[in-house]
Structure 1
Amino acid sequence: MKYTRKLLFVLCPMLVLVFIYFSSRKLHLHVWGPKSQLESEASISVGQVVGAVYDQQGFLLKLDGKLPMELVYKYGNLSSGTCKPGYAAAKMTAIYPKFVKPAPMFLDQNFKRLAKVFNYLPPFGFKTQEKTIDTILTATKNYGLGPELDSLSCKRCIIVGNGGILANKSLGSHIDEYDIVVRLNEAPVSGYTKDVGTKTTMRITYPEGAIQKPERYEKDSLFIFSAFKPLDFKWLKHVIFRERLGTEGFWKSVAHYVPREPSEMRILNPYFIQEAAFQFIGLPLNNGLMGKGNIPTLGTVAITMALHNCDEVAVAGFGYDMNTPHAPLHYYEKVKMSAIRESWTHNILKEKEFLQKLVKARVITDLTKGI
């Protein structure tokens, strides 16, 4: 009996050690991959111990411009300059497995079915604004880019930012070669065509950013509305129906007239603001409300939209260089780079980290190399 007890005293610690050894080995082999959200979050700490594959947002840590093996066969033999169908989404999925391409560019009459934005207030959704949106959509009646562009089997898009880095680059003719040219807010074309081109497919803006002088609008571009607060939807409704609108609630003066027919106006899907902020950049959720430092810039929102709806995506005029505070912030005015430091809503550094991932992995092409 005494011999049996002694044997147990010796064996028990050994069994415990063996169990710990094999358990720890199993844990060390467990690396975060494209699983369910709960599984992914639970395994992050373990992945960090042995060398994580993905960063906190879900992007590959080791990024390069090489095509994954599964994409080499599809795109590797295409001649230079040929539009690559599905390329941006395929590259994005390769570095960010959680990416899901289907996401309509604009709200249409079925917008209430968009579950991802249904329960969020503006700017991350349309909660409380359903009735106003219904009224607007009955007037606009169109929800696409137009028959010619919608029918393209492969779309090459460029987002033209407003950065001072665009000046003196002579990229105008190159920009005009893209199928879809996206411009932002009040950035002018006239007088700057050598650097920014002449073509405008759509101009994305919000009330305070919209062009206020009717003569400065292009003749044939779509007016794309992006809401950042509930009052913005009211502004669009008044503009479409040519109603009088007060200025209370806006942080600066707004346009009272937009020289566009309702059929030339669209509402940008607010999902792109939500996805850019919380999934891609990692800005604070703040209970789903707009707060300090949790709103992406309109440029990044436009890039997010393009990743879902364009086959190839390029950008120009992007990049804030905080090391040159006296450089021009925009290509069309004398405001200095230092002004962006005062931004209450944006987190420029975190946003730049996200855009650098896209450029490094060649998900997007940066023509001005400012990112």
Structure 2
Amino acid sequence: MGILVFMRNLLLALCLFLVLGFLYYSAWKLHLLRWEDSHSILHAFDSVGHKLGPEYDRLGFLLKLETKLPVELATRYANFSEGVCKPGYASALMNAIYPKFSKPAPMFLDDSFRKWAKIREYVPPFGIKGQDNLIKAILSATKEYRLKPALDSLNCRRCIIVGNGGVLANKSLGSKIDEYEVVVRLNSAPVKGFEKDVGSKTTLRITYPEGAIQKLEQYEKDSIFVLAGFKWQDFKWLKYIVYKEKVSAADGFWKSVATRVPREPHEIRILNPYFIQEAAFSFIGLPFNNGLMGRGNIPTLGSVAITMALHNCDEVAVAGFGYDMNLPNAPLHYYETIKMAAIKESWTHNIQKEKEFLKKLVKARVINDLTNGI
């Protein structure tokens, strides 16, 4: 009798365990489907829930892109002369070709970062899950979450993302680049010695530990240092930097990293990881991979920076973008001799898909490509 009771209780416990396991699994699958549907089935709806027609592709971009402005926008901006900043220009054009686009998205994380559901549910690089304590510690020291006041207060802001491509060499675009209110540079791309082609002004330098400048004398004087966190170690590294602690080489970096950044805490920011998420899955259409970093699903920092600018700048330009795989011996970067063929070895990026995305933006005049490399 005792054995029967034991077996009955065991079976009941097993059934309960299986039911709970099934419910947990179902909730997890629904969670993934909620994201994946937004990029497959739900892509047929714009940002306010209106259904899109067959004239849009699977991501939600207009299939037939026009090089001329839509009539409504042409009328709105007709009286703006050349060189005058056009308020809301980039986001208006983005909405015209991608109705799902919703502009509000802060450039940097602030002390309310936990409240934003779009990044709370995903681990780096697509969110902040598991990083709360590190981010809180960093932000409690930096205490600044926006651009510098003079730029933050502008009614209209023109931004240029300066890529590192060899296409920048010998173009003499330096003075043109310096005309923009916000000049964004990426990783360790040098300025000194290349001013004629790349300009001398730097507003933001966006990077991650392995990409950061390691020689202190190569940093510009007054730029804001911005971390793009691609893995949990990146946030730990930034905490070391902010608190001027010793950086541990045992933290799982894939190459040597900077051990110091010549910036005070108030000159350091954390890039909103939503831009990595949106660039990867909404704009470029990279594999979701259960929301985890995987082969070919990480956008380049350039595409991430452009995504950030679309949300936070009135006009967006780029220079130094574009990889021409038909020229394998052309220089990959403007500042070194590595050849174009090296980009084919990338494990994390899908250059072809990124190029398709950027071409859409250029053709529809959402962004202005100064070097015509895209």
Divergent runs of 4+, >2 A: 32-40
Cα separation, 1, equivalents of 2:291 and 2:66: 33
AA matched with 1:359: V
**Alignment counterpart, residue 357 of structure 2, candidates 354, 357, 360:** 354
- After TM superposition, the structure 1 stretch with the greater mean CA deviation from structure 2, 354-363 or 67-76, is 67-76
Q: Deviations over 1:346-367 (max 9, x none)?
A: 0000000000000000000000
The residue matched to 1:304 in structure 2 has which SS?
A: helix
User: Partner residue of 1:97?
Assistant: 99
Per-residue deviation, 1:192: 0.3
Q: CA RMSD in A?
A: 1.5
TM-score when normalising by structure 1: 0.87
Cα separation, 1, equivalents of 2:272 and 2:126: 9
AA matched with 1:78: F
Cα separation, 1, equivalents of 2:245 and 2:357: 40
AA matched with 1:124: F
Cα separation, 2, equivalents of 1:35 and 1:172: 39
Structure 1 residues 247 and 273: CA distance shift in structure 2, 3 A: same
User: Partner residue of 1:276?
Assistant: 279
User: Partner residue of 2:343?
Assistant: 340
Alignment of 1:52-201 (within 5 A): 52-201=54-203
Cα separation, 1, equivalents of 2:247 and 2:153: 38
Aligned length: 331
Q: Deviations over 1:54-75 (max 9, x none)?
A: 1111100010122222222211
AA matched with 1:183: R
**Alignment counterpart, residue 240 of structure 2, candidates 238, 241, 249:** 238
Per-residue deviation, 1:176: 0.3
Q: Deviations over 1:11-46 (max 9, x none)?
A: xxxxxxxxxxxxxxxxxxxxx964589996xx8xxx
Cα separation, 2, equivalents of 1:36 and 1:84: 23
Structure 1 residues 35 and 148: CA distance shift in structure 2, 3 A: closer
Give unpaired runs (5+ residues) of structure 2: 1-42
Per-residue deviation, 1:242: 1.2
AA matched with 1:210: A
Give unpaired runs (5+ residues) of structure 1: 1-31
Per-residue deviation, 1:245: 2.1
Cα separation, 2, equivalents of 1:89 and 1:137: 29
Cα separation, 2, equivalents of 1:369 and 1:286: 33
- Higher Cα Rg, which structure: 1
**Alignment counterpart, residue 216 of structure 1, candidates 218, 230, 240:** 218
Cα separation, 2, equivalents of 1:35 and 1:262: 40
AA matched with 2:265: P
Cα separation, 1, equivalents of 2:189 and 2:286: 26
User: Partner residue of 1:293?
Assistant: 296
Alignment of 1:241-256 (within 5 A): 241-248=243-250, 249-256=252-259
The residue matched to 1:314 in structure 2 has which SS?
A: strand
User: Partner residue of 2:209?
Assistant: 207
Cα separation, 2, equivalents of 1:33 and 1:352: 23
- After TM superposition, the structure 1 stretch with the greater mean CA deviation from structure 2, 181-190 or 237-246, is 237-246
User: Partner residue of 2:15?
Assistant: none
Q: Deviations over 1:169-194 (max 9, x none)?
A: 00000000000000000000000000
AA matched with 1:65: T
**Alignment counterpart, residue 368 of structure 2, candidates 362, 365, 368:** 365
Cα separation, 2, equivalents of 1:308 and 1:113: 19
Structure 1 residues 39 and 64: CA distance shift in structure 2, 3 A: closer
User: Partner residue of 1:328?
Assistant: 331
User: Partner residue of 1:13?
Assistant: none
Identical positions, percent: 71
Per-residue deviation, 1:243: 1.1
User: Partner residue of 1:306?
Assistant: 309
The residue matched to 1:354 in structure 2 has which SS?
A: helix
User: Partner residue of 1:11?
Assistant: none
Cα separation, 2, equivalents of 1:339 and 1:247: 26
